[in-house]
Amino acid sequence: MTSFIDKLSAAWTANDSLLCVGLDPDMPKLPEQLQWEPNAIYAFCKEIIDATAGLACAFKPQIAYFAALGAEEQLEAICRYLHEHYPHIPIVLDAKRGDIGATAEQYAREAFERYRADAVTVNPYMGFDSVAPYLEWKDRGVIVLCRTSNPGGSDLQFLDVGGQPLYQHVARLVAEKWNTNGQCGLVVGATFPKELEQVRKIVGDMPLLVPGIGAQGGDIDATVAAGRTAAGTGMMINSSRAILYAKPLAGENYPQAARRVAQETRDAINRARTK
């Protein structure tokens, strides 16, 4: 299997894109014609995927939106569909798992065997032994929470740890000690471009998953300037709700509206890459 890092690098080039499309299916927001279908979540996500696959460097299903509705089998089907029809685009399972020992091993199996994800997000709060089981899957990505996009992240992530904020300590741990197989990435929010810039300086070319544009209001130009690598890549800039629930213009259906917003976002990111 192609490694996550190689697959992501190829997708950056093939689609000329740093846009990651988040799959957060919220039943009340789904189109009316899907509301009563038994496989509505699968049908909705499939339409979004088909509409945006040529514009994305990754897809990021958020597991909670599926599990809360007992729709894990539909998530499995979506991951199968992506592997069959768009095998060149990585799947990042947004699970934010954080546990130790045998439990972490089972979470890793869930992500990498059940859903066949190319990468998974994990929480470092319980230390290296909570992350180590994921690193055993050397061809998969392990994307560690670092400086998250939510305002409450500062409650802990800005605590002083030996003269540096905790989020910088996490970035150094991952870059200098945990990334032994070259498979790690970090989650750093677009809502904090100054911190994003600091993380990039610490971790070099390590890939960053960057939520917070679109509905959360992160600035694209500031995000790209702070987080891009010397090659102009290095990021999966995620947008979920703004694309999934784009309001159709006259004559559009919801997949066309999603594609339009995805293309506008991809193109805005690309313009920022040239500045």
By annotation, the residues acting in catalysis are: 96
**DSSP-assigned letters across all residues of the chain:** ---HHHHHHHHHHHTT--EEEEE---GGGS-GGGTT-TTHHHHHHHHHHHHHGGG-SEEEEBHHHHHTTT-HHHHHHHHHHHHHH-TTS-BEEEEEE---HHHHHHHHHIIIIIS--SEEEE--TT-HHHHHHHHTSTTSEEEEEEE-SSGGGHHHHTSEETTEEHHHHHHHHIIIII-TTS-EEEEE-TT-HHHHHHHHHHHTT--EEE--SGGG---HHHHHHHH--TTS--EEEEE-HHHHTPPP-TT--HHHHHHHHHHHHHHHHHHHHT-
Q: Which two tokens stand for residue 61?
A: 């299903």
- Residues 82 and 89 sit within 8 Å (Cβ to Cβ): yes
Angular region, 232: left φ>0, alpha ψ -120 to 50, beta rest: left
